[in-house]
Structure 1
Amino acid sequence: MNNKIIIACAGAGKTHRIVNEAIESGGKTLIITYTINNQKEIYEKYKQLGGRDFLSFKVKGLFTFILEDIIRPYQNIVFNKRIESLIFNETDPHRKNNRAIPGRKEILENGDINPLHYLTSDGNKIHSTYIAKLGAYIIKKTKGAPIKRLEEIYNNMYFDEVQDLVGWDYEIIKSISKSKKLSLCCVGDFRQTIYQTAITTKKPITTSEKINFFNENEFSEENISKSRRCILDICKFSDIVHDGQGFEPTTSAVEITDSEILKHTGVFVIKDSDVNKYIDKFKPAIIRLNSESGKKYNIDKLLKITYGKSKGLGYDRTLIIPTKNYIDFICGNKNIFDAQKTESSKNKLYVALTRARYSVAIVFPDIIPETCELTIWNP
Structure 2
Amino acid sequence: MMHKNHLTLAVAGSRKTQSIIDACIAASKAEKVLVLTYTTTNQIEIRQRMSRQLGGAVQVEVLGWFTFLIKHWVRPFVPFLDPHRRVRGFDFESDPQRYMSSASEDRYFDNGGRVRKVHLPQLACLVERASRGALLSRLERIYDTIYIDEVQDLGGYDLEILKLLMKSSIKLRMVGDVRQAVLTTNERERKNKQYMFTGVWKWFKAQAESGKLDISQRHTTWRCHPEIAAFADSVFGESWGFTATKSMNERKTEHDGMFLVKSEDVPAYVEEFKPLCLRYMSSSAQKFYLPFMNYRASKGLTRERVLIAPTTNVERFIKTGKPLEAMAAATFYVAITRAEQSVAIILDTPGTSGLPYWNPQSG
TM value normalised by structure 1: 0.86
SS of equivalent residue, structure 2 residue 259: strand
Aligned mates of 1:87, 1:194 — CA distance in 2? 23
Q: Is this contact kept in 2: 1:5–1:219, CA < 8 A?
A: yes
1:177 alignment counterpart: 166
Determine which of 333, 336, 340 is the counterpart of 1:350.
Answer: 333
Letter in 1 for 2:158: D
- Which deviates more from structure 2 when the two are superposed, residues 184-193 or residues 210-219? 210-219
**Alpha-carbon RMSD:** 1.9
Determine which of 167, 189, 193 is the counterpart of 1:200.
Answer: 189
2:79 alignment counterpart: 76
Letter in 1 for 2:166: S
1:98 alignment counterpart: none
Aligned mates of 2:153, 2:184 — CA distance in 1? 5
Determine which of 159, 167, 174 is the counterpart of 1:186.
Answer: 174
For 1:218-367, what aligned pairs fall within 5 Å after superposition? 218-244=212-238, 245-257=240-252, 261=253, 263-297=254-288, 299=290, 304-337=292-325, 343-364=326-347, 366=348
Q: Is this contact kept in 1: 2:90–2:117, CA < 8 A?
A: yes
The answer for unaligned runs of 5 or more in structure 2 is: none
Deviation of 1:127 after TM superposition, in Å, equals 2.1
Aligned mates of 1:132, 1:175 — CA distance in 2? 12
Q: Is this contact kept in 1: 2:320–2:351, CA < 8 A?
A: no
CA deviation map 1:51-73 (0-9, x unaligned):
3258x211111111101111110
Deviation of 1:319 after TM superposition, in Å, equals 0.5
- Which deviates more from structure 2 when the two are superposed, residues 309-318 or residues 217-226? 217-226
For 1:101-116, what aligned pairs fall within 5 Å after superposition? 101=99, 104-107=100-103, 114-116=104-106
Deviation of 1:294 after TM superposition, in Å, equals 4.1
1:111 alignment counterpart: none
Deviation of 1:213 after TM superposition, in Å, equals 3.8
SS of equivalent residue, structure 1 residue 275: helix
1:12 alignment counterpart: 14
Greater fraction helix:
2
The 3 A distance-change label for structure 1 pair 358 and 210 is same
Identity of aligned residues (%): 34
Deviation of 1:305 after TM superposition, in Å, equals 2.2
Deviation of 1:32 after TM superposition, in Å, equals 0.9
The answer for unaligned runs of 5 or more in structure 1 is: 96-100, 108-113, 338-342
Letter in 2 for 1:86: F
SS of equivalent residue, structure 1 residue 358: strand
Deviation of 1:293 after TM superposition, in Å, equals 4.1
Aligned mates of 1:217, 1:197 — CA distance in 2? 26
1:110 alignment counterpart: none
Letter in 2 for 1:270: V
Q: Is the aligned partner of 1:22 residue 2:24?
A: yes
Letter in 2 for 1:355: R
1:143 alignment counterpart: 132
SS of equivalent residue, structure 2 residue 296: coil
Deviation of 1:118 after TM superposition, in Å, equals 1.4
Letter in 2 for 1:46: M
Aligned mates of 2:93, 2:55 — CA distance in 1? 35
- Which deviates more from structure 2 when the two are superposed, residues 213-222 or residues 234-243? 213-222
Letter in 2 for 1:106: S
SS of equivalent residue, structure 1 residue 371: coil
Deviation of 1:138 after TM superposition, in Å, equals 1.4
Count of matched residue positions in the alignment of Structure 1 and Structure 2:
348
